[in-house]
Amino acid sequence: MRHRIPTPVALLLIASLPAGALAFTPLPFNGEPITGSLVSGETEWIPPADPRCDARFLRDIYTFEVASGETIDISLEAEFDAVMMLYTEQGHLAAANNDFTGQFNARIAVTLQEPGRHFLNVSSYFPGTTGTYRLIARRLGVGAPLPEDFLGATRVQVFLPDLPMGPSGDPIEGRVVEGELEESDFPPLPEDLAGVEEIDLDLPRDVHPLEAVAGTVITVDLRARFDGNLLLLSPGGRLIASNGDYSRMSHSRIAAAPLTETGTHQIVVAPCPLDGAGGSYTLTIAEPQSSPGFSPDTSLMMGETVSGELTSEDRAEFWARSERVPFGYHRDGFVFDGEAGQEIRVDMTEDFRMHLYLLNPDGEEIGFTDDWQLFGTAQLTATLTQTGPHRLVVTTLSPESTGHYTLTLRD
């Protein structure tokens, strides 16, 4: 059942709403499950900063009051890929979560500093999604710590324009291009990009030429009024690097991508395939710099455990269809001898959000894992199909991240 909040609510959040547009539901914090559903036509108003504010994303909006310093715990289980976003009375994003311990759930546990009314947006990761869900809310008290099972298991946050993702995102110096991505913008692109996750060839894009020489690195920065993706192509049309969300959903950056060819490269500005919307943007292209070169790999034996640290000086060689190719992502490389048919297992512990890649003797990615299931631990298993030197590349979820780890290789 929906409960209508009286119109004269003193909220900046809803000051621009049309008459009769309020249809928020009070959220009881009694630990009892609330059953709800996203149905077609449910497009209650949320702040324009939220990328799910348009009518394609169905949502239910709940409201509640909190005291300053109060800790709350809200969990959501759904039959769809669910997202929760929590806003203050002023429309500021206080917390967000998607995929807490599984694809179809979300959880927010947070100590709120701003007292007063807050708004909870229950929505979906993909537009147009419908389905039922179950919501449970608990008050833990003023000054109460976050639940231990939350601190140890949280997976990923939804990265929104007002929610920092990790790196600073400070502006860079270079040539500035002001652009507008419109529905009619369809410059040609190599057909080989059809399988690239970061771009949909059926959506508009802008292409900017860049003259550069082999042995240099390039940094490109995109600030957009939409959820944009940035791609860098070689003169032959090969994807060198890409990035969707650098410091925020509206900010993309390819940081220090190594170039191996001389000629006209292409910088592609495109909308996120899940969003599709265009708009104005600012593209900054830094002057190419001399490449600092790659860091050497470390030899690894079966049964060996190594302790390592990712620092800003770690630049292991890495070529893959991954946004982690640029030197903006720190990387350690390990090499080991493997045989065709050999089964291997790699166990990792770390104090940062990690990505681990397994490459065959041809440099092709044949295995990947991260700490998606539980922060701080990861495991990769694979059956090798070739005999020869294989590589493990340790890197991070977010650019500019550093930290310590241990890695064990077993067969």
CATH number of 390's domain = 2.60.120.380
Q: What's the pLDDT score for residue 99? A: 67
Closest CA to 92 of 146, 147, 150, 48: 48
Helix (H, G, I), strand (E, B) or coil at 148: helix
Residue 160 lies in a domain: no
Rg, the chain, Cα only: 23
pLDDT for 198 equals 66
Contact in structure between 399 and 373 (CB atoms under 8 Å):
no
Residues 286 and 361 both lie in one domain: no
Determine the residue type at 5: I
Domain that holds residue 321: 298-410
Question: Which of these three, 273, 290, 307, is where a domain ends?
Answer: 290
pLDDT at 366: 92
* Same domain, yes or no: 39 and 127: yes
Clarify whether residues 304 and 376 are in a common domain.
Answer: yes
Q: Which residue has the tokens 């631990």?
A: 377
pLDDT one digit per residue (tens) for the chain, 411 residues:
222 222 223 333 443 343 344 468 899 999 999 999 988 765 555 544 454 455 567 888 899 999 998 999 999 999 988 888 888 877 777 777 876 665 678 888 888 888 999 999 898 877 778 899 999 999 999 988 888 777 654 444 433 333 344 455 678 899 999 999 988 888 988 777 766 666 778 888 999 999 999 999 999 999 988 878 899 999 988 888 888 877 767 788 998 889 999 999 999 999 877 666 678 999 999 999 998 888 999 999 999 999 999 998 999 988 766 667 777 888 999 999 999 999 999 998 887 778 899 999 998 999 988 765 555 678 899 999 999 999 999 998 777 888 899 999 998
334 assigned to some structural domain:
yes
Q: Are residues 186 and 85 in the same domain?
A: no
C-alpha separations of 54 from 39, 50, 280 in Å: 15, 9, 17
Q: Which residues contact 61 (CB under 8 A, 6 or more apart)?
A: 23, 24, 25, 44, 45, 46, 119, 120, 121, 122
Residues 335 and 308 in one domain: yes
335 in any annotated domain: yes
- Whether residues 194 and 285 share a domain: the answer is yes
Instruction: Mark whether 368 and 386 lie in a shared domain.
Output: yes
Based on the domain organization, do 108 and 45 belong to the same domain? yes
pLDDT of residue 320: 67
- Answer left, alpha or beta for residue 126, where phi above 0 means left and psi between -120 and 50 means alpha: beta
Looking at the fold, whether 286 and 312 belong to one and the same domain comes out as no
| The pair of three-digit structure tokens given for residue 168, joined into one six-digit string | 């600073």
Residues 206 and 263 in one domain: yes
Same domain, 342 and 264: no
* Together in a domain, 136 and 65: yes
Beta strands 25-26 and 377-383 are unpaired
Residue 9 lies in a domain: no
Distance CA 108, CA 124 (A): 15
Please name the helix (run of DSSP H) or strand (run of DSSP E) that holds residue 240, with its range, or none.
strand 239-243
Residue of 86, 112, 116, 114 lying closest to 98 (CA atoms): 86
CA distances, 296 to each of 125, 210, 336, 341 (Å):
40, 30, 13, 27
Contact 21, 7 (CB under 8 A): no
Q: Give how many domains the chain has, as a whole number.
A: 3
Please name every residue paired with 377 in a beta bridge, in sequence order, or none if there are none: 349
Q: Is residue 156 part of a domain?
A: no
The confidence score (pLDDT) of residue 386 equals: 96
Distance CA 98, CA 106 (A): 5
Question: What local confidence, expressed as pLDDT, does residue 43 receive?
Answer: 53
Adjacent-strand bridge partners of 62: 25, 120
On whether the pTM is more than 0.85, the answer is no
DSSP state of 193: G
248, 267, 290 - which closes a domain: 290
Residue appearing with tokens 């600073």: 168
User: In this predicted structure, what is the pLDDT of residue 41?
Assistant: 60
> DSSP letters along 52-106, please?
T-STTS-BEEEEEEE-TTEEEEEEEEESS-EEEEEE-TTS-EEEEEE-SSSTTEE
Contact 107, 21 (CB under 8 A): no
End-to-end CA gap in the chain: 57
Q: How far apart are CA 310 and CA 122, in angstroms?
A: 37
Helix (H) and strand (E) counts in the chain: 1, 27
**Per the domain annotation, does 235 fall within a domain?**
yes
Answer whether 181's CB lies under 8 Å from 269's CB. yes
Task: Compute the distance between CA of residue 343 and CA of residue 334 in angstroms, rounded to an integer.
Answer: 17
Q: Using DSSP, state whether 143 is helix, strand or coil.
A: coil
The verdict on residue 378 lying in a domain is yes
Name the residue type at position 16: S
Q: Is 313 within the bounds of a domain?
A: yes
Q: Among 116, 136, 151, where does a domain finish?
A: 151
Q: How far apart are CA 64 and CA 349, in angstroms?
A: 39
